[in-house]
Amino acid sequence: MGLGSAAMNETARKMVAPGKGILAADESSGTIKKRFDTIGVESTEESRAFYRGLLFSADGAEDTIGGVIMFDETLRQSDADGIPFVQVLSDKGIVPGIKVDKGAKQIAGSSDETVTEGLDGLRERLAEYFKIGARFAKWRSVIQIGNEIPTWNGIKSDAHALARYAALCQEAGIVPIVEPEVLMNGNHNIERCYEVTRLTLQTTFDELFDAGVAFDSMVLKPNMVISGLDAESQASPEQIAEMSVSCFNEVVPASVPGIAFLSGGQTELEATANLNAMNAMEQEHPWELSFSYGRALQQSALAAWRGNPANRDAAQQAFLHRARMNGLARSGLWNPECENDSRLR
């Protein structure tokens, strides 16, 4: 008996169903504080629940959002009427998910490479998360491009941890999102990003295979193949699309139901335009090409909210707008004019 199942395959396909993607709202306490700092809002248990609650309950979010990734605290919180967020989401047909990694920590002997931790006690945590209602999980590893990095030790360590995590998830009946993120930070060109992404994914899938992970019961969450943030010249959406899909065609098994990108520091519009270019391409691909954006789905919503309860509706509209734009990008139907089309608001 393998680790996969028909139920997990169905959940994975629901998360990345045509026209839909995933909202990453699983910022750790430190990260959400940083996001709230940008709008001058104090990060408290109440402010976090209010903000996340407004996203989850936005009317019509279910049209373009198939899954939401939460942080441990949020998975246990409820809306103002006392309805658990897990239920708010499930009632709308949105799959609740949980971030289970404990963050990227410095690798021994290296000042600039990390390995993601969180395997100890994970089996027990997953059993509890399943009981609470989570049906998928996320684990993010971080690969930085630099002069001497990534090293083979760095890539291999993260790939191995991802595989152990994914196998434990499937054993618990939880769909693993496997997220090996090659960071955009740096002045490298898109070709270097291609090479590092290809090696990272190849190594990750080798490890997943060795651990017995069923490819049809998982979702891959990679970076796009893209120029470094400080690179001299920036690749166009068409080049990003072409190189990303070529890279994945080389190393991602066809039985993986979906590839859901992280936005990783792209602006909201860049993340939408790049996803759109991928889905508008002629090139065939066996997996859904979708989104699992954090910042690129939330920046406008945060700015519209600014911690004022009176701005709840405006923040919801800002979030729904981005969700709809990315929903269009799922089938290559977005163009810049859609941003101002009142029928799409």
- 94 secondary structure, DSSP code: P
Torsions phi, psi for 4 (to 5 deg): -80, 170
237 binds ligand 13P (CB under 6 A): no
- Count residues binding ligand 13P (CB under 6 A): 10
Q: Per-residue string for binding with ligand 13P, 285-304, x by CB under 6 A?
A: --------xxxx--------
**Token pair in block for residue 328:** 């269009």
Q: Report angle CA 40, 101, 290 to the nearest 5 degrees.
A: 80
Question: Using CA atoms, how far apart are residues 37 and 273, in angstroms rounded to an integer?
Answer: 28
Q: Binder to ligand 13P among 8, 225, 240, 262 (CB under 6 A)? A: 262
Q: Binder to ligand 13P among 67, 228, 258, 264 (CB under 6 A)? A: 264
Q: Binder to ligand 13P among 12, 15, 23, 24 (CB under 6 A)? A: 24
DSSP letters spanning 13-27: HHHT-TT-EEEEE--
Q: Which residue, 208 or 297, has its beta carbon nearer to ligand 13P? A: 297
CB 220 within 8 A of CB 285: no
Strands 104-106 and 114-116: antiparallel
Scan residues 145-204 and list those touching ligand 13P (CB under 6 A): 179
Q: Which residue, 3 or 95, has its beta carbon nearer to ligand 13P? A: 95
Question: Is 179 part of the annotated catalytic residue set?
Answer: yes
Question: Is 221 part of the annotated catalytic residue set?
Answer: yes
User: In terms of Cα–Cα distance, which of 118, 122, 61, 37 is closest to 317?
Assistant: 61
Q: Which residue, 77 or 116, has its beta carbon nearer to ligand 13P? A: 116
- Residue 96's DSSP bridge partners are 68
140 binds ligand 13P (CB under 6 A): yes
Catalytic residues: 179, 221
Could you list the residues that contact ligand 13P (CB under 6 A)? 24, 140, 179, 262-264, 293-296
